[in-house]
A and B are shown apart, each in its own frame.
Chain A
Amino acid sequence: MIARGCRLIAIACAAVCVAGCDWMPGRPTQAEMPLRPSAITDFARLYGENCAGCHGVDGKLGPAIALNNPVYLAIVDDAAMHRVIADGTAGTAMPPFAGAQGGNLTDQQIDIVVAGIRKQWSGDKSVGAGAPPYSSNSPGDSNRGGQVYAANCASCHGADGKAGNAGSIADASFLALVSNQNLRTIVIAGRPDFGHPDWKSYSARQALTAQQVSDVVAWIAAKRPASMLSALSAAQH
């Protein structure tokens, strides 16, 4: 009896070893294969390692603009996103990520990040329908912008932008750290993650027009102290 039991156990062991070892939990999986940093093509990993620090774990609730925002993704095109990731935005805290600019990502990886952001977070496309364009060449009129501000923004940021529940947007240091494009993007796309409205849901209950957006950005930008203005434009070439 005992001998037969031993034999059975031995046969079972042998069978497990020959056929079963490849099923063992310790066997390395393809996912554990070490990759060169330039060969990483998984969006989640690229985003997590390079973007999540500022733009938030799920593309939102980070200090920098939310990428998980259908309005933002509706107005920005792939080329613009690729350009910003690759070259950064001089004068602001968006660093360049392209290898040619001293960053760590390849062109292909930047494309993967752009495509991944769009695929993951575009959401309901109709939300962004009719939004003012991402960028505009027509300079805004800051006088008219002041009226737009009073009607739409002052309730949170205070009259003249100096205070209010949501804090000042006229602070000289703040304005020295953001580009006009930053301001424009926030005005149009908002920060839904922190309750900042987008272009069609400001307190005037009427969607801002493209011109109104340019105007209010011009009004805010005009509050930037002259010394910082020159420093910023120097940084932006």
Chain B
Amino acid sequence: MAVMQRIKAVGAWLDERLQLGSTIAEVAEHPVPRSSASWWYIFGSATLVVLIMQIVTGICLATVYTPAANGAWESLIYLNYQQPLGWYIRALHGWGSNFMVALMLVHMVQVFLFGAHKYPRELTWVAGIVLLLCTLGMAFTGQVLRFDQDAYWGLGIGASIAGRSPLIGPKIVDLILGGPIIAGETLSRFFALHVFVIPGLLLAFVGLHLFLVLRLGINEWPMPGRIVTREKYRQQYKELVQRDGEPFFPFAAQKDIVFAGLIILSLVVVAAVMGPIGPGGQPDPTIIQTVPRPDFFFLWLFSVFALLPPWTETFLMLVGPPIAIGLLFAVPFLSGTGEKSWRARPFAVVIVTLILLAIGTLTWLGTYSPWSPQMEAWTEAPVPPDYLKGRTPLELQGAILIQYKQCRNCHSLGGQGGMRGPALGDTAARLTRDEIIRQIVQGGGNMPAYGKNLSPAEVNAIVAFLGTMHPANEPPARDSAKPAEPAASQ
């Protein structure tokens, strides 16, 4: 009891000088619409909580991490294996970034569907978009700071995109890389961005975002038919809060607090169970046995770059992002008034659903990238023995050549190998012997022509082996111009 009194005394002494107590109380107890104390309104505060955790773990990492190209990777390995609990702090920071992006996206979708971006909260939305860009910027620069092969080649991809800009492309590349090629200064530049520039912007805009939320009041639960107009809305909101308001703390804040606690707990558990993300192999460009992949939240972009028709690519890479970002900023100005409730805004619901579906599908494709050759498949992916049993010596040579000529890098057999071209297991059921030969020799349909690289004997062996590739109960394909007859055994 005496302790409590002592604390109270110190508090009173401080408040007498700082004069903050009443301000804090005012902020904490400002009335909010009863309807906004909802489990749908907890994602913004949770994002902020994760941001604070990111700052704490980030500072911890900065005490050990070496932001120099000749020591960054080694310091990450040190963190993972030697620094006590270094692996755990890295895990918290890495998974924290995933949590933060995910929570922010949920928050954004919720805000949009609840019409919270409409008058008078347009600027809150704009600040939120800046925060989205900053967070994605943190995710990308953070991936660079995890200075491994993925980081190195990810920088290469970034530079290659920038290098497509007309006229100034090469200069932008030099600026991004801090020189003509990915090197020490590249990492230093991204370190400055990740640790100073973007966090500074992030904190400033978090401040603005929160200030606006307090100034304008939290968005009330939208009801279909309750139309927002510039003339009446503020008055209506004021009346609503007076009629049906409750103090933010603890009435609404308790849900935020519960959810924030759950988020912290899950992050702590996920980090402990999943462990740190990377680093992958040394950032040595001479190690060419590497398969660069972006982090999870950029996989959809990776898919986009693989799937865009090549002739649209440069245009869309350069024009697409500014248009997309511009549209995000423009949302509250394009639909700043009117219906708020998602129930009365079918168009908004459809757009959100389509975007989420598209990004989800692209991300899913990105996780197994069927368009990439599997560089090791030719020596790594075995031929299922069922395809080999009872085969002639020539057919076995054909099977060897299917491996040796790297066919497996793009064609799977028994579920293993590349997925760029069709699986080989039913080749003979799809193509006649002549068609197989033509496809191999001339290529086509995105397959290179192998005519110059194969001797006649090699072609014979491969075709002999592929000729066995039809399901047991299905005859080989035949030329429809010729009369059907039992295939002569060859």
Touch A–B, Cβ below 8 Å = yes
- How far is it, in angstroms, between the C-alpha of A24 and the C-alpha of B399 when the chains are bound? 46
Query: A167, B408: Cβ atoms under 8 Å?
Result: no
Q: Which of B87, B287, B458 contacts A27 (CB 8 A)?
A: B87
Provide the bound-state CA to CA distance between A21 and B271, in Å. Answer: 11
Report if A143 contacts B (CB, 8 A): no
State how many angstroms separate the Cβ of A44 from the closest Cβ of chain B. 12
B26 in the interface (beta carbon within 8 A)? no
With A and B bound together, what is the CA distance between A48 and B376 in angstroms? 10
Asked if B274 and A53 sit within 8 Å, CB to CB, the answer is: no
Q: Cβ of B458 and Cβ of A177 under 8 Å apart?
A: yes
Q: Which of A151-208 contact B (CB under 8 A)?
A: 166-169, 171-174, 176-178, 194
Contact B404 A95 (CB under 8 A): yes
Residues of B in contact (CB 8 Å), total 52
Q: Is the CB of A228 within 8 A of B457?
A: yes
Whether A63 pairs with B287 at a CB distance below 8 angstroms is no
Which residues in chain A, 25-78, are within 8 Å of chain B measured between CB atoms?
25-28, 30, 33-37, 48-54, 56-57, 61-64
| A194 and B148 contact, CB distance less than 8 A | no
Given A33-B81, A52-B379, A62-B388, CB of A26 within 8 Å of CB of B403: no
Q: Are A21 and B272 in contact (CB under 8 A)?
A: yes
Roughly how many angstroms separate A104 CA and B393 CA in the complex, as a whole number?
Answer: 29
CB distance from A179 to the nearest CB of B (A): 12
Contact B77 A26 (CB under 8 A): no
List of A residues within 8 angstroms of B389 by Cβ: 194
B80 partner residues in chain A, CB cutoff 8 A: 28
With A49-B380, A54-B379, A167-B395 as given contacts, are A34 and B281 in contact (CB-CB < 8 Å)?
A: yes
Q: Kindly state the separation between the CA atoms of A104 and B375 in the bound complex, as whole angstroms.
A: 12
**Which one of A36, A168, A231 lies within 8 Å of B282 (CB-CB)?**
A36
Q: Given A34-B281, A53-B377, A228-B457 in contact, is the A25-B401 Cβ separation under 8 Å?
A: no
Residue B460 CB within 8 A of the other chain: yes
Nearest CB of chain B from residue A102's CB, rounded to whole Å: 12
Give complex CA distance A168, B392 in Å: 7
Is there a chain A Cβ closer than 8 Å to B276's Cβ?
A: yes
Contact status B87-A169, CB under 8 Å: no
In B431-486, the 8 Å CB interface with A consists of 455-458, 460-461, 464
Closest A residue to B377 by beta carbon equals: A53
Bound together, the chains give a CA A26 to CA B88 distance in angstroms of 8
Find the residue from A37, A173, A174 having the highest chain B CB count within 10 A: A173
Residue of chain B at shortest CB distance from A16: B272
Residues B276 and A93 in contact, CB atoms below 8 Å apart: no
- Measured between beta carbons, the chain A residues less than 8 angstroms from B91 are 26
User: Which one of B81, B91, B457 has the highest number of Cβ atoms from chain A below 10 Å of its Cβ?
Assistant: B457
Taken together as a complex, chains A and B put the C-alpha atoms of A63 and B391 apart, in Å, by 9
Known contacts A25-B273, A172-B457; A48/B380 CB under 8 A: yes
B142: Cβ under 8 A from any A Cβ:
no
Q: Which residues of B contact A48 (CB under 8 A)?
A: 380
B80 and chain A: residue at smallest CB distance: A28
Q: How far is the CB of A101 from chain B (nearest CB, A)?
A: 15
A19 to chain B, nearest CB (A): 11
Tell me the bound Cα distance from A54 to B401 in angstroms: 9
Cβ–Cβ contact B280 & A177, under 8 A: no
Residues of chain B within 8 A (CB-CB) of A57 are: 382
Chain A residues closer than 8 Å to B455, beta-carbon distance: 176, 231
Interface residues of B in 261-304 (CB under 8 A from A): 271-276, 279-282, 284, 287, 289
Asked if A177 and B85 sit within 8 Å, CB to CB, the answer is no
Interface presence of B383 (CB below 8 A): yes
Contact present for A174 and B385 (CB under 8 Å):
no
Residues of the A chain whose Cβ atoms lie less than 8 Å from the Cβ of B393 = 166-169, 171, 174, 178
- CB pair A173 B394 closer than 8 Å: yes
Contact A173 B457 (CB under 8 A): yes
Do the beta carbons of B403 and A171 come within 8 Å of each other? no
Given A61-B385, A104-B289, A169-B393, check contact A26 B400 (CB 8 Å). Answer: no
Q: Shortest CB–CB separation between residue B41 and chain A, in angstroms?
A: 29
Alpha-carbon gap, A173 to B271, bound state (A): 58
Is B381 an interface residue when CB atoms closer than 8 A count as contact? Answer: yes
Q: Is B396 an interface residue (CB 8 A)?
A: yes
Chain B 142-156 per-residue mask, 1 if CB under 8 angstroms from chain A, else 0: 000000100000000
Chain A nearest CB, measured from B165 CB (Å): 34
Q: Are B379 and A50 in contact (CB under 8 A)?
A: yes
Interface check B124, CB cutoff 8 A: no
Q: How far is the CA of A180 from the CA of B91 in the complex (A)?
A: 57
Name the residue on B nearest A51 (C-beta).
B379
Most chain A CB atoms below 10 A, which of B281, B391, B455: B455
Q: How far is the CA of A228 from the CA of B458 in the complex (A)?
A: 12
CA distance A182 to B316 in the complex (A): 54
The one of A30, A63, A167, A178 in contact with B403, judged by C-beta atoms closer than 8 angstroms, is A63
CA distance in complex: A64, B465 (Å): 14
Query: When the two chains form their complex, are residues A26 and B396 in contact, meaning their CB atoms are under 8 A apart?
Result: no
Separation of A178 and B392 alpha carbons in the complex (Å): 14
Interface residues of chain A, those whose CB is within 8 Å of chain B, are 21-22, 24-28, 30, 33-37, 48-54, 56-57, 61-64, 93, 95, 104, 166-169, 171-174, 176-178, 194, 228, 231
**11 additional A-B residue pairs with CB within 8 Å, beyond A173-B397, A174-B393:** A36-B287, A50-B380, A52-B382, A53-B379, A53-B403, A53-B408, A62-B382, A64-B400, A167-B394, A168-B392, A172-B457
CB-defined A-B contacts under 8 Å, sample of 10: A28-B80, A49-B380, A52-B382, A54-B379, A63-B397, A167-B393, A167-B394, A171-B394, A173-B458, A177-B401
Nearest 4 A/B pairs, CB to CB: A167-B392, A26-B275, A63-B399, A176-B457
